[in-house]
Each structure stands twice: as C-alpha cells, then as structure tokens.
Structure 1
C-alpha cells in the first residue's frame, strides 16, 4: 500500500507539473520570454518537490510549497478570459449572426470566399433569409487528413435545391497563429462557428488544401424534420451567444464534434455519448449503427460512395456546387 500511495503521488505530481508548465508557457494567447522563464521555474519547483518525496523531513514542506504555487498558477489560468477583440486571421474576422421573424431566419455574414489557393483568397460575405418550413434535412461532412480515427465534422442544413448552409465549428485563430492540439487544451483559441456557403468551406477542403490533402465524405442524416429544425435553431442560438459572450475552444470538450453532440441535446432522442464521438473519424460509423444513416448498404460501401472529392474538384466554382457534389443519389 505504501508503494501504491507513493506511485500515485508521483503520478499526480508529474501530471500537474506538465499541466502547469504548459499553462504558464502558453500564457494568455502569447508566449514570450516571461512565459518561458515562469514555465522553467515552475518545472524546477516540480522537480525539487519530486526529490523531496524521498526525504521524510522535507516531504511536507515540499508539497506545501508546490501546492501553494500550483494553486496560484491555476487561479491565473482560470482568470484568462475569451475575447472577440483580437487581431484575427482574415478568414475569421467576422462572426455570423441571425435575426428572426416568425418562421423566417435571416443569417448575416455567411462566408463565401473566392479561393486561388488555401491562403490566397478574396473575402466575401452575404446575407440570406431562410424559411424554416423549407428545411428538408441535415447532411454530415467528415473530413480526414491523418488516418481513420480523427476527422473534422461539418453539418450542412438543406433548404432544397442549391440552398445549403454549412456550419463548421473550429478554433478561431489570430494573425500568424497556427493550430496546435496541445494549445487547444490551454485557453489559446476562441470558439467560432463558421457559417458558410458549401462552395467555400467544403471546396476549400476538397480543392485547395494539399498539405496534407483532405478527403471529404458526405452523408445524408436520417431523422424527423422537427429534430432538424430544433438543431438548426440551437446552432443559431449558440452563434448569437458567441457574438455577445465569447467562449474558448477546447481540443477535447468543445471541438468540432463534441460541440455538435452538445447541440443535439435539444432533441429528446439524441444519441448517447460514445467514445466514437471523441475519436471523431468513427462518427459516421456510429451514426450508421444507430440507424441515423441509410442502412440499405453495408457501411463500407456507403462510405466508399460518400467520397465527394472528385465531384467537388469537377464542380469547382460552379454556382450549383452543392447540387453537383450530391449528384450521386446514394449519398
């Protein structure tokens, strides 16, 4: 028992040391020499505390000192607040928002960039009014770039014909800032719901992202249309909320897939949480098992037919892009 308690103490210390070093190193959306110095000093304190565990005389004092400093680091980290007032990358400068009048919803600042390459584009936005009574369903895009376990998921709301409104939940990045999975745990990115034309947010991934290339799959979700309406309105409620009250993106707890699941809680018959939501590449398989996708084909065949890269690359800038990528009836 003594050995187990000692091992547990060492493990807890190692985890908290690593967390504290990262929290100090990344700081409040910036890493400069003060953050590096503080992170190094905290690491040294952590090592000294680990050494003190071997000496009964110093163990108590080491743990008290470490616990006090760790508490201060935690309070500092909790004090970091999200903001909508930063120097954002050009593609994340505007936040969409919605206004309501009866069954009509007007969505403002829908993104529809004209791309020449992934990072060379002409910003463009438009405003469009949607009739909730014309909502026909919801489609799921799964975007893969690093194997089968991890995917970026995007929902698109189908209002018939070429009227599809895609919403991609992402980390809102500042100018010159790249994405880091680790940074996503430490309040480094604000949360953004990109509301976009599919010719923007989908074509970007199928036609212009090449390092690494991304494979995009399109699935039509099955379910009552009333559930789709509630989900759409819940999305818009969150989008408006983020305009007034920014929130942090979190790699695990509030990302492109877990946030979708949170929005689906608006419906009573929502899916139960599953490890396949955390390993987002398996979300289509999970939906298939729950009969939320067409089960008339084996999943492997449905997945094969869902790949839309060739269709999107052929459609490219066509005004009916959304219809063309759905030209195969078995999506």
Structure 2
C-alpha cells in the first residue's frame, strides 16, 4: 500500500512539474517571438530551440535515468531566458504615433497644478486629425467630482475605462491609461503581455478622448457610458494628485504596459489605493466591462436612487456627444439627462 501511495505521489509530482515546464516553455517561446532579436530567422530559430528543449525535457521526465539531468539543463536555459528578459528596458525615445508622441507632465505649487501637454486634437476621422496640445492650471480646491467613463466595443465583458476630473463650470480633465504605440504598430492583447508597449497616460480634453470614441471610431463602433463617482471629495483630490505623480514619474522614467497587471483598470485601482477606503480587489476589475455595475453594488456611483439598468441607460452618451461634436460646452452637453 505504501509503495502504491509513493508511486501515485511521484506521478502527481511529475505531472505538476510537466505542467510547470510546459507553461515556462510556452512563455519562453512567446517572449522570444514577440520581443526577441529583430532578425526574423534568428528570432524564430531561438523560439524553436526553446520549444524543442521544453519538449525534450518533458519526454525525459518519463525516464528516471535522464530526468534530473534534463531538468538541470533546462533550469540553466530558463535562467538565461530570465536574465535576458530582465534586461529589456522601456524607453521614451521611440518613433511614436502622433497621438502619443508628446508626454504630459505637471508642476505643483500648493493647491495649483499646472498640467502641460493636454491633448485636444481636431479630428476629421479616427486617423485624420490635426494635433494640438495645451497647458492649463487647475485649482485643487475647485475639484468637485470624479467621473468614470466606460467604453465598449466587443460585448459586455470588456471595456476601456478611464476617469475625468470635474473642476466645475464645465471644466474637466480626462486621463485615460493606455499603450504608447510606435508608428505602424497596432494593439494586440497577447503582445501586451510581453513588454511590447510602454505605459502612457493620455491627459486630454473630453472633446478629444471621449469624442474620438463616440463620434469618429467606426471599426468597430464604440459605446461610451459616463458615471459620477460617489465619495469624499478629499479622496478625489488625493487621487488626482496620485495621477499627477504617476504622470510625472512616467515623464522621467518609462514603464511597460502589461495586459493583465498594468492595464487601464488595474492601474486605476492601484492609484485609488492612495485612499484608505479604496475598493477591495475583485475579478470585475479584470473583466472590466462589469466594473461600473461592481461600483454601483459597492455604493461608489451616484445612482440618484435608480436601478443599475436605468442608470446605465441614462449614462449612455453617444447621441449627446455626436450632437455636441466640437462645441465649447461639450462636457456639459454630454451630461444632460444623466441626472433625473
């Protein structure tokens, strides 16, 4: 009986070890494929070598004589991969797409925050626009609310989420956490796991970052929803300053975007941790399309006493944004009819 138990334990251990090796090998192949040398032949050869080595050690696990030697050799190979991976550095010096070419930053003097390089493009289509940037001073004492914008384009589970800070009198500053892409580079969820994009805070006029999504994106079309967050305004001020700190940090020292750990919603959540009563982490932060409903359930949205379905219906701003288009009071007009 003891011998049978021992064999079962060894079999389970080898199975788990095999799964670990397969996972590590798959990561290594993809890491080299996406982030390896520029020469395609060399890159594919290295990825193939890692795949063959992973398969060989998996086969060797079935032979007691070769098992530990193969595993030791594989550990050396994987350690080399990790050393290479650790030396890949982000950069602010690349040939960037025009919409992310300029880094925002800010200067702080007491309660006055001057934000530099606020994006406000004049769009004729999603890809045809006149770049424009401006600087503006914001008084923290005038901050009166924080809005959450959720944008959907592929069903209810996935959304791009960003915040807009309301300083009163129709004065809003939107901050969208995105990838910083190079020219001729497109976004890929899979590539986002492998240090392909730098992290970028789009600091923009709402007529830019919201209107782009509601008025000009057609392939696929996007649906935007705007909700007012509910909470202590002092928490809002701390959150705004945390955003400013992160923006200045990226201006000085770039960081990589990651599809899972450093994306639009996880980074928002990390920033909100500056406040003592921040939201607990939840799977709906990862499945970002359900984040507004999660916030509603946690009492963090100004619901006006409405059921979520009705609040969501009122929060849909596409029609109002399309009607307002480039109007100076765009921010005010897209908020009409949200409040009962």
If the TM-score is normalised by the length of the shorter chain, which range does it land in?
Answer: over 0.9
Q: Write the distance in 2 (CA, Å) between the matches of 1:116 and 1:13.
A: 51
How far off its partner does 1:41 sit? Answer: 1.1
Q: Write the distance in 2 (CA, Å) between the matches of 1:28 and 1:216.
A: 37
Structure-1-length-normalised TM-score: 0.97
Which of 154, 169, 178 is the matching residue for 2:162?
154
**Which moves more between the two structures, 49-58 or 224-233?**
49-58
Q: Write the distance in 2 (CA, Å) between the matches of 1:86 and 1:321.
A: 34
Query: Any residues of structure 2 matched to 1:285-324 within 5 Å, and which?
Result: 285-295=293-303, 296-324=305-333
- The aligned counterpart of 1:69 is 77
Q: Write the distance in 2 (CA, Å) between the matches of 1:207 and 1:37.
A: 45
Q: Write the distance in 2 (CA, Å) between the matches of 1:30 and 1:86.
A: 15
Q: Assess if the C-alpha contact under 8 Å between 1:114 and 1:122 holds in 2.
A: yes
2:257 equivalent to 1:249:
yes
Q: Secondary structure at the match of 1:175?
A: coil
Q: Write the distance in 2 (CA, Å) between the matches of 1:325 and 1:28.
A: 45
Q: Write the distance in 2 (CA, Å) between the matches of 1:162 and 1:195.
A: 17
Q: Secondary structure at the match of 1:138?
A: strand
Q: Secondary structure at the match of 2:215?
A: helix
Q: Write the distance in 2 (CA, Å) between the matches of 1:285 and 1:59.
A: 51
Q: Assess if the C-alpha contact under 8 Å between 1:138 and 1:158 holds in 2.
A: yes
Q: Write the distance in 1 (CA, Å) between the matches of 2:36 and 2:131.
A: 28
- The aligned counterpart of 1:330 is 339
Q: Gapped runs of 5+ residues in structure 2?
A: 1-8
Query: Any residues of structure 2 matched to 1:273-288 within 5 Å, and which?
Result: 273-288=281-296
Q: Write the distance in 2 (CA, Å) between the matches of 1:275 and 1:66.
A: 34
CA separation of 1:136/1:30 partners in 2, compared to 1, >3 Å: closer, same or farther?
farther
CA separation of 1:328/1:2 partners in 2, compared to 1, >3 Å: closer, same or farther?
same
2:187 equivalent to 1:187:
no
Structure-2-length-normalised TM-score: 0.95
Q: Assess if the C-alpha contact under 8 Å between 2:315 and 2:338 holds in 1.
A: no
Which of 237, 242, 247 is the matching residue for 1:229?
237
Q: Secondary structure at the match of 1:155?
A: strand
Q: Assess if the C-alpha contact under 8 Å between 2:177 and 2:199 holds in 1.
A: yes
Q: Write the distance in 1 (CA, Å) between the matches of 2:59 and 2:122.
A: 58
Q: Gapped runs of 5+ residues in structure 1?
A: none
How far off its partner does 1:161 sit? Answer: 2.2
Q: Assess if the C-alpha contact under 8 Å between 1:28 and 1:80 holds in 2.
A: no
How far off its partner does 1:33 sit? Answer: 2.8
2:100 equivalent to 1:100:
no
Query: Any residues of structure 2 matched to 1:49-60 within 5 Å, and which?
Result: 49-60=57-68
- The aligned counterpart of 1:11 is 19
The count of aligned residue pairs is 331
How far off its partner does 1:212 sit? Answer: 1.1
Q: Assess if the C-alpha contact under 8 Å between 2:214 and 2:321 holds in 1.
A: yes
Q: Secondary structure at the match of 2:124?
A: strand
How far off its partner does 1:143 sit? Answer: 0.6
Cα deviations across residues 159-192 of structure 1 (Å, max 9, x unaligned)? 1122100000011111111111111111111101
Q: Write the distance in 1 (CA, Å) between the matches of 2:327 and 2:153.
A: 25
Cα deviations across residues 68-88 of structure 1 (Å, max 9, x unaligned)? 111101110111011101111
Q: Secondary structure at the match of 2:82?
A: helix
Q: Write the distance in 2 (CA, Å) between the matches of 1:149 and 1:305.
A: 19
How far off its partner does 1:251 sit? Answer: 0.7
